[in-house]
Amino acid sequence: MISSKIMCRMIEMKVAVSSPDEFVAPYLYDALGDALVEIPPKVLEVESEMMLDAILHPCTTLIHFNSAAPDSDRDDRSSLLALREAAKPILNAANRHQGLHLILVGSLRVHPQATPDEPFYSGGTRLAPRDVAAEGNVWVEDSALEHATSERPVSIIRASNVQGSLISGGDGHGLLHAFARDSIFGWVSVPGSQENKFPKDFLHVRDLVESILAVMQSPPPPREAIAVGTGRGVNLNDVAQIFKESKTSTIYTNIFAEFSMLEVEFYKNGEGALKNRNISS
């Protein structure tokens, strides 16, 4: 739930959003309501500074989804170039506007895989992109942070594995829903990769939106990088075992509510407490 305090402040704001995805952005649009100012993709494609500046003129915040397309090959250089090209008009526009708070929403894939011996998202966590697309994420982040000032603050939000259902209904999004679908047939397919030995952290989409709104209300002086998640990782094989042992029909119907019944420590319902961990930028 969005607090009434945040809602009151948002009434006085205009928030521009660019390069929206199909999963998180609809929830953000719903939360922003009348404060939302959508940036049409065509404006970015033609790189019209005049049109973009006119759209941003009444805005106090600009949120850019710094993420690769779902169908892109994250290990192909084209994904890196696509991220850079999508961000350039936004970065240039942010530099032209005084009093505009730029928020980049990205992924924790810019950090190395956490291990059981290391805390999640500690202040000492270094940047180490896990794939080519993550290198593109870092390029965009660095470009934005380099030009951050007290008049043009920049916030970087890096989310863990975001889970939930599409706001329009239908199938769920993320590994947990994939496990739930598999479990109906009595087995769970864990992605075959060396990553299985590393812990994963899961975040509900509504908690991510809440964190974006919270950052929006408190611009940094002048830059910050924030990791969003529970800070408690779990092995994917252990997660799969939970689904195998659960009542599949119930967990598939209401996956996140059921988690609290299963006493899964690494996750709270989407309305639960949000934990932010700061990372030095």
By C-alpha distance, which of 151, 153, 170, 172 is closest to 161?
172
Each residue's pLDDT, cut to its tens digit, for the chain (281 residues) gives 555 455 545 556 899 999 999 999 999 999 999 999 999 998 988 778 999 999 999 999 999 999 988 888 999 999 999 999 999 999 999 999 999 999 999 988 887 776 666 666 555 667 888 899 999 999 999 999 999 999 999 999 999 889 988 898 877 888 888 888 887 777 788 876 545 567 788 888 998 999 999 999 989 889 988 888 877 778 888 888 878 776 544 444 444 443 333 323 333 333 333 333 332 32
In the block, residue with structure tokens 């329009």: 168
Which residues does residue 104 pair with via DSSP β-bridges, in sequence order?
64, 156
Tokens, residue 174: 């993320």
Which amino acid is present at 167? I
Q: What is the pLDDT of residue 261?
A: 30
Q: What is the pTM for the complete model shown?
A: 0.82
Q: Which residues contact 269 (CB under 8 A, 6 or more apart)?
A: 204, 256, 257, 259, 260
3-state SS string for 226-263: EEECCCCCEEHHHHHHHHHHCCHHHHHHCHHHHHHHCC
Separation of alpha carbons 133 and 84, rounded Å: 10
